[in-house]
Amino acid sequence: MDETSMGRPLVVTGDGRLLDGLLRLAAATGASPQVVGRDEVPEVRRTWATTPLVLLGDDCAGPLAGLRLPRREGVLLVTAAPDEPAVWRRAVAAGADQVVSLLADHELVADLLGACADGPAGAPVVC
């Protein structure tokens, strides 16, 4: 990751199916997420404090928790089994605000990605 990735949503997963679904939602909303695979989880440190949204695949919750990053808002654990107690334990350990299912909660995820695509309000342009 480099400085150009700051301010972009962050997708952290090594699950190809989950990644495909998240990237489709991102494309539909105009968001351009930074993607970090399972083997690259330590790279998350670089933009952890500045990325507006972290979509964390359940497959990467353990490795991310191991980094012991400071708690922050805007971290969602994305899983196929949101009702399993083990998933919630991993979410808490990783610092996730919410646990979501991509299938059941796709509208919420799309709204959050869309907010990232809109970005913060900029200065007015005078012509």
Q: What average pLDDT does this structure show over 59-73?
A: 94
How many beta carbons lie within 10 A of that of residue 99, not counting itself? 22
How many beta carbons lie within 10 A of that of residue 47, not counting itself? 19
Q: What average pLDDT does this structure show over 81-100?
A: 94
Q: Per-residue pLDDT tens for 28-54?
A: 999 999 999 989 988 899 989 999 999
Query: For position 81, what pLDDT does the model report?
Result: 87
> What's this model's pTM, rounded to 2 decimal places?
0.86
Q: Per-residue pLDDT tens for 70-85?
A: 999 999 999 988 899 9
pLDDT-derived band of residue 118, with 50, 70 and 90 as boundaries? low
Contacts (Cβ under 8 Å, ≥6 apart) of 40: none
CATH architecture of 3-117: 3-Layer(aba) Sandwich (3.40)
Query: For position 111, what pLDDT does the model report?
Result: 92
